[in-house]
Structures are given as structure tokens and as C-alpha cells.
């Protein structure tokens, strides 16, 4: 077998002479469902304000006009958005694209030094900022030579910061002044090379890299997902993806998952998005109840809370119809817990990367609950290979590195030829993920290849142990890392976030901590082969470090474990011996 193609093809035509804004606002693709007017695209969570497509078109043109008048933004200039989700976030993206500019979207939790790095790397000329991020933005902009006049604020009710201009002021100016630019149509094939986004990679090792994403990449990925959704059969009310549904836009727009799958695909497919700027689990539940949200794209940490948090029982969540989890694998155990708590909700997973301009797989839409343990089914238009360490092609059910091609693949890394050469090879992307693909074209992510533990010559996947540990009643969250061991090479150590009730028990009884650790280790030893047992022990921690997409920052805890080991601070409950 040479390669595996996603089922459901061929794809509809993918236009290569449109910018992303033209595709979203000006063009009617055959895979786009019809939605009854008035066509509300966005709802502001806090106020309930509804924004129609006509208002969005007006604001996009006016903001583009103001960008040109105020800043003289031209083709290929870069604008940075440094903000949590905001109702005008998509307006800003599309306004920049009207001018032929490129967007780089930044994590609002960045420090001034981190933002400075991104502004310098991408050569950004202006910044659109949330008021809460203004001081960081000013410091970073000053360091790279961006004047304060080239910083504009998103409007937030009740917040006003001096004389700094706001997006609404720009829009007002753009509406009242003559149009100062002529938008051009791309030449045939130009969408394959003209950049829409410079998106930072996860940066779990080394400094982040800017991924060069041309306009055709998000366009293609949206069409791939829409085509898959259009293959659903049966009554509309039974389908997982339905035009007219209300979707949750909580995942950050600055990240590729929120940017493409939420902001672009959900809107393209006829959903109305409730834009939520900041994550609070209880507030998220309130928003679902208040807006009667049907569809929630999430990451695994939110799934854990949906399974275990007591606040879930306080709200009416009966409107929920479909959940899609991405960015990191959900285990079969966690899916089982979720389906028991929400039996009417369809549950699926998808897999993707910034480098693939998001989704490579999609939920199995012919199933109410996706294949347990899988990260979804290959999308139509995706071609995949599984290879061993020597580059030999493997077959179904054989574990190896996933290599993928799709029309949505990015071009490479900005000004980083070596990294590009390692990841992007003849249009194929070497993901660095070890997977198994079955004959139904479902992908099962074993783990990041570099994160596999080797215990006495046996490979141990941290994700497997983490999924099992999440089924323990005292565990809220967990991360497993390898601990150096003279005899075994390395052994698994679990950093565990205990539940609130468990913490209270341990506070009342000093001996309870050891009993809980013993119970957690026994939970593994009773179910797993001896080399997979927690010979490194269990350490309690307040929270598991994750990047914004929900992936575990395992490296930080691996370093912490080794420091604790060197200082003699690791502990294991008495009476528990791993069977080595």
C-alpha cells in the first residue's frame, strides 16, 4: 500500500483566484448550504447583540477604507491582532484581506517580549488590540518601532482608554469618506501563493515558527469540511452538522482551530456563532443555556470538565446537539463518560495542525458517537501515508509516523529553510505523530513520536495512561512523563490534578494523600501490563500546563520531574511497588 485517501471524494472545485474574504462574503460555492434570511452570523455573548452578514459586509469595507486612509496599508503588509475573541475579530481579518494584507494573530496571554518576537518575526506594521492588552502591545510595539498611532482598540462596553482610537471610530471614518482603495481579483492560481495568515506554530520545543498559510488553504479546508458534512443522510434534526444551528465560538480565534474551523467553517456552513471572549467554565455553561447553543467545538480539557464538574448539573444544557473535540486526542474512557452524561449529543473528534491549515480528519458523521479512541476519519481530499523510522511505507493497523497531503497544506515556515525542509517535503507534511489507520480510514493517534517512553525496551504512550487515569474518581487532570531510571531507562510518572473533594479530604487527614496516591497507582497496575505501571509514582499539582489549543506542555513537567528527582523531592506512597 502506498497511500490512503480519505473517503467521500472527489471534492468540489476549489477556487484558486479568490481571497478568503471574497470566498466568504462575495462568492456562492456549491457546497455552502442555504440559510433563511435574516442571516445572523454573530452574536455577542455578553450583550446578545446580533450581527447580520449585511452589517459585516458594511463594516469590513469601512474598516478596510480606514486602514488605507489612516495607515496606508497595502498589498502584503502585515497586521497583527492581539486580543481574545471579539465580535469584530472576523471583521478585522476580512478588512485586511480586502486590501491584500496578511494577518498574524497573537495569543492575548503573551508578555511584551513574546509579542515583540512575533511582531519582529512577521514584520507587522500595525496592531489591533483588546483594551486589556493595550499596555503590553504598546511596550512591544515601541520595541520594534511601531508607533502608538498604529495601534487601534476593539470596542468593549464600559471600557475607554484615553485617546486611543477604536475600531468603531475607524469604521465610522471609513463609512463617511470616499473609498480609497480598489480591491483586486487574484490571478488564476495566485491564491496558492498569496499569504492570508502567518500563524505561529505551537512552540512546544524552541521558539515558535510562523507558518505561511496562503488564501487557498483555509478555503480548501472549509470546502473539505463542508463536503464531508454534506454527505450526511437522514432527517436534518438527526444530523450532527446542521445549517441554522447556534455554535459556540469560545476557542481562541488567534489559534488555527478557532480561526479556520470555528470562525470560517461554522459560518460558511450556515451556523450563527456566539462569540465568547474568555474561558470560564461556569460562564460557558451559562452561555449555552442563555443562547440555546447547539454545537460546541472544544478541546480535551473542556471535555474533562463536562464529565466531572458539578456545575454541569446546575444548567439547562438540553439544547446541545453536537460536540467536536480537537487539538489533542480524547480517550475511549473519556468519551464513554461524556456520552453517559450527554446521551442525546453526538460526539466526534478531529485532528489537524497549523501546518495542514487545520483539519486532516473529521468526526464520523454516520455515527452518533465516533469510533472510540479515534481522532476522526480522514477528510475527503486528504491523502495519508504511514511510515516507519526508515521511511518504509506501512499498511492499515500498523503504527508509524503520519505523513499527509491535502489542498489545504501550508507552504512552509517563514524565513526558516531548515525547519521547512524537515517538515514540508514535496507538498507532504511530516506530522511527527505516531498513528494507526484502520480500513475505515479512522486515525488513532498513539502519541507524539518524541514523547513515547521507552521502558526496558518497551514503548509506552503517555496518552494511553492519561486516558486511563482520567477514569479514576480522584483525578481531574493528568500528565504522564518519563523519569530517568537506572534499571529501566525511564519509568512513567504521573502529575495529577486532584478533584476539589479529594483536596478537601487530604486537608482534613494528612494520611489521605498517601492513600489517594496508592489508589491511583493501583488503578493503573490493575489494568496495565507491568512496564506501563507508574513506577515513577504520582505527584499532585495545581494545574497541568497546556498550550492554547489544549495540548499538554509535557516538556515543562518532564523538566520539573527531573529537578525534583535530583533534589530528592519525589515521593511514592509506602506499600506500593511497581511490578518490574
- The answer to whether residue 248 scores a pLDDT higher than 80 is yes
Q: Which residues pair with 116 in a beta bridge?
A: none
Least confident of 7-11, 135-139, 287-291, 487-491: 487-491
pLDDT at 551: 76
Do residues 326 and 257 touch, judged by C-beta distance below 8 A? yes
Give CATH for domain 4-16+205-447.
3.40.50.12780
CATH topology identical between 4-16+205-447 and 54-184: yes
- pTM given for the model: 0.84
Domain ranges of the chain: 4-16+205-447, 54-184, 452-566
Chain segment 448-500, per-residue pLDDT in tens: 666 778 787 666 888 889 988 999 999 999 999 999 886 677 899 999 999 99
- pLDDT of 384 above 90: yes
* pLDDT recorded at residue 296: 98
| 491-513: average pLDDT | 95
- Which residues, including other chains, have CB under 8 Å from residue 387's CB and lie 6 or more apart? 393, 394, 400, 401, 403
Please check whether residue 276 is in contact with residue 85, taking contact to mean a CB–CB distance below 8 angstroms. yes
Q: Look at the domain 54-184 and name its fold.
A: Rossmann fold (3.40.50)
Query: How many CB atoms neighbour CB 375 within 10 A?
Result: 26
pLDDT of residue 38 exceeding 80:
no
Q: Give strand pairing partners of 44.
A: 275
482: Cβ contacts below 8 Å, ≥ 6 apart: 453, 454, 462, 490, 491, 492, 493, 536, 558
Q: Which of these, 274, 298, 309, 380, lies nearest to 347 by C-alpha position?
A: 298
Task: Report the candidate in 86, 429, 377, 409 with the shortest Cα–Cα distance to residue 258.
Answer: 86
Instruction: Report pLDDT for 550.
Output: 74
Name the pLDDT band for 196 (thresholds 50, 70, 90).
Answer: very high
CA distance 193 to 195: 6
Query: In the CATH scheme, what architecture does the domain 452-566 have?
Result: 2-Layer Sandwich (3.30)
Pairing of strands 210-214, 195-200: antiparallel
Q: What's residue 565's pLDDT?
A: 92
Amino acid at each position: 500500500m502506498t497511500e490512503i485517501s480519505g473517503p467521500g471524494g472527489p471534492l468540489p472545485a476549489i477556487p484558486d483566484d479568490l481571497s478568503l474574504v471574497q470566498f466568504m462574503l462575495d462568492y456562492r460555492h456549491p457546497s455552502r448550504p442555504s440559510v433563511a434570511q435574516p442571516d445572523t452570523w454573530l452574536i455577542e455573548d455578553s450583550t446578545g447583540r446580533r450581527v447580520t452578514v449585511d452589517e459585516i459586509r458594511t463594516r469590513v469595507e469601512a474598516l478596510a477604507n480606514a486602514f488605507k486612509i489612516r495607515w496606508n496599508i497595502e498589498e502584503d503588509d502585515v497586521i497583527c491582532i492581539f486580543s481574545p475573541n471579539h465580535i469584530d475579530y472576523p471583521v478585522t481579518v476580512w478588512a485586511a484581506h480586502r486590501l491584500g494584507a496578511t494577518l498574524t494573530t497573537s495569543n492575548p496571554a503573551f508578555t511584551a517580549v513574546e509579542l515583540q518576537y512575533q511582531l519582529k518575526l512577521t514584520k507587522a506594521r500595525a496592531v489591533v488590540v483588546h483594551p486589556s492588552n493595550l499596555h503590553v502591545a504598546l511596550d512591544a510595539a515601541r520595541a520594534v518601532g511601531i508607533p502608538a498611532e498604529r495601534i487601534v482598540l476593539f470596542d468593549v462596553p464600559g471600557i475607554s482608554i484615553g485617546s486611543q482610537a477604536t475600531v468603531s471610530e475607524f469604521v465610522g471614518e471609513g463609512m463617511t469618506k470616499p473609498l480609497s482603495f480598489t480591491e483586486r481579483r487574484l490571478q488564476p492560481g495566485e491564491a496558492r501563493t498569496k499569504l492570508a495568515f502567518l500563524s505561529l506554530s505551537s512552540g512546544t520545543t524552541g521558539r515558535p515558527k510562523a507558518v505561511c498559510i496562503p488564501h487557498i488553504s483555509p478555503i480548501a479546508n472549509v470546502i473539505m469540511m463542508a463536503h464531508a458534512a454534506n454527505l450526511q443522510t437522514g432527517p436534518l434534526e438527526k444530523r450532527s452538522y446542521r445549517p441554522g444551528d447556534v455554535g459556540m465560538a469560545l476557542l481562541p480565534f488567534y489559534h488555527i482551530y478557532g480561526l479556520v474551523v470555528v470562525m470560517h467553517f461554522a459560518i460558511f456552513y450556515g451556523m450563527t456563532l456566539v462569540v465568547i471572549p474568555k474561558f470560564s467554565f461556569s460562564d460557558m455553561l451559562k452561555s449555552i443555556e442563555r443562547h440555546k447553543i447547539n454545537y460546541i467545538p472544544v478541546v480535551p480539557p473542556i471535555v474533562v470538565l463536562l464529565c466531572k464538574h458539578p456545575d454541569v448539573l446546575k444548567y439547562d444544557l438540553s439544547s446541545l446537539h453536537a460536540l467536536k473535540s480537537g487539538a489533542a486526542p480524547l480517550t475511549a474512557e473519556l468519551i464513554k463518560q461524556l456520552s453517559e452524561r450527554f446521551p442525546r449529543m453526538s460526539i466526534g473528534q478531529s485532528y489537524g495542525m497549523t501546518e495542514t491549515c487545520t483539519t486532516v480528519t473529521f468526526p464520523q458523521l454516520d455515527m452518533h458517537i465516533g469510533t472510540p479512541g479515534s481522532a476522526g476519519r480522514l477528510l475527503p481530499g486528504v491523502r495519508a501515508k504511514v511510515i516507519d523510522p526508515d521511511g518504509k511505507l506501512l499498511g492499515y493497523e500498523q503504527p508509524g509516523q503520519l505523513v499527509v497531503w491535502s489542498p489545504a497544506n501550508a507552504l512552509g515556515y517563514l524565513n526558516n529553510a531548515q525547519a521547512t525542509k524537515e517538515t514540508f517535503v514535496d507538498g507532504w507534511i511530516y506530522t511527527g505523530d505516531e498513528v494507526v489507520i484502520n480500513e475505515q480510514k479512522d486515525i488513532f493517534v498513539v502519541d507524539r513520536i518524541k514523547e513515547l517512553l521507552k521502558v526496558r525496551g518497551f514503548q509506552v504512550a503517555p496518552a494511553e495512561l492519561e486516558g486511563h487515569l482520567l477514569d479514576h474518581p480522584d483525578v481531574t487532570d493528568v500528565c504522564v512523563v518519563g523519569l530517568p531510571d537506572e534499571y529501566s531507562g525511564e519509568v512513567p510518572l504521573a502529575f495529577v490534578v486532584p478533584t476539589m473533594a479529594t483536596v478537601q479530604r487530604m486537608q482534613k487527614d494528612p494520611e489521605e494523600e498517601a492513600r489517594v496516591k496508592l489508589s491511583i497507582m493501583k488503578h493503573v497496575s490493575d489494568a496495565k501490563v507491568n512496564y506501563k505501571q507508574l513506577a515513577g509514582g504520582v505527584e499532585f499539582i495545581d494545574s497541568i500546563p497546556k498550550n492554547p489549543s489544549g495540548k499538554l506542555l509535557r516538556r515543562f513537567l518532564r523538566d520539573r520531574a527531573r529537578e525534583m528527582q535530583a533534589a530528592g523531592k519525589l515521593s511514592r506512597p509506602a506499600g506500593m511497588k511497581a511490578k518490574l
